[in-house]
Structure 1
Amino acid sequence: MATEGLKPVASLLLFLNFCMYAIVASIGGWALNVAINHGFIIGQGLALPANFSPVFFPIGNQATGFFVIFALIAGVVGAAAAIAGVHHVRSWHYESLPSAASSALVAWGLTLLAMGLACKEANLEGRNIRLKTMEAFLIILSATQLIYILVIHGGGGSGARTRT
């Protein structure tokens, strides 16, 4: 069939996205660990400072806390969606398309949200190289995840659908 030619493209995008989402989740986990290790500790008799934020990160800027949390969620959901997409690429049949497409769309939506926060963080300045790497990966992932969704929709109907 003509759509069998899209299967290698989908496989390549799936592998690329999985690797990038795993890297984003790893860097996000590192940043969350730094924030937990250097967080504000409240002892007996101490009160919270006036400008205390529960998403305070000692690295980066004011947007880093929100960016890291949403990037971590997007990384985990994106990696899980890539694993779910393996089944569709292996079978490449109409019945496996809805689960692969829906999980990919959820991952893409979370990636776009994290990308928006990455753009805000980049605009504020004052971040380290790991956060810049995570920003770049999320910007690239927002495009490659969309291309993957379009590819699986272009080739997902290769199996004949029968109604009973």
Structure 2
Amino acid sequence: MASKAVSCMLLSINTILYFIVIVAASWAVNHGIVKSRETASVLPMPARIFPIYFPFGNLATGFLIIYSLLAGIVGFITSLNGLHNLAQWDSASQHVAAASSLISWLLTLLAMGLACKEISIGWTDSNLRTLETVLIILSGTQLFCTGAIHIRVEEVVRSEMEIGGRV
């Protein structure tokens, strides 16, 4: 029963953090779209082909923004879905929550790896540093959340087996 409370708390925190990631990454994409026409017009040909040029950050910024937006959207929906599934008590909903939590964690790890690469290259502004920090924190909290949900799945399966008399 304690894993249900821990899972709900971690999913609530992750919902807020993923929302912050969505907002920061969406701002960066919008800023890149608005500034790309004037900034990319002076670049050589291969750089002008890419529709969004990020006039801030470094060479890893484009990949970080796109993957963090993807991880943020998937993680936000997964966290909301996980809260809904944890409110139910059946085994099927717990397995769905466990699988989607694992997928969300893997996408968050990918975005966190790109954030670490951007940090190692250097030269980012404060909005990108916020995004990088939140992604690094999210990779840890999503790991704990995924573990708590998997523990919860084992508890639900065990209780259903005891009720069915298959112990």
Q: How high is the TM-score relative to the length of structure 2?
A: 0.86
Equivalent residue, structure 1, for 2:44:
49
CA distance in 1, matches of 2:89, 2:125: 42
Identity in percent: 40
- The total of aligned residue pairs comes to 157
Query: Relative to 1, partners in 2 of residues 1:36 and 1:121: Cα closer, same or farther, differing over 3 Å?
Result: same
More divergent stretch after superposition (83-92 vs 8-17): 83-92
Q: Is the 8 A contact 2:71 2:111 kept in 1?
A: yes
Matched, 1:97 2:64: no
Higher helix share: 2
Secondary structure at the counterpart of residue 135 of structure 1: helix
Instruction: List alignment gaps of at least 5 residues for structure 1.
Output: none
User: CA separation of 1:133/1:89 partners in 2, compared to 1, >3 Å: closer, same or farther?
Assistant: same
TM-score by length of structure 1 reads: 0.88
CA contact (8 A) 1:7 1:92 kept: no
Counterpart selection for 1:19 from 4, 8, 16: 16
Tell me which moved more, 62-71 or 81-90: 81-90
Is the 8 Å Cα contact of residues 81 and 103 (structure 1) preserved in structure 2? yes
Which consecutive residues of structure 2, in runs of 5 or more, have no partner in the other structure? none
Whole-angstrom CA distance in 1 between matches of 2:121 and 2:76: 28
Structure 2: distance between partners of 1:103 and 1:81: 6
Matches within 5 A, 1:23-102: 23-40=20-37, 49-50=44-45, 52=47, 54=50, 55-102=52-99
Q: CA RMSD in A?
A: 2.2
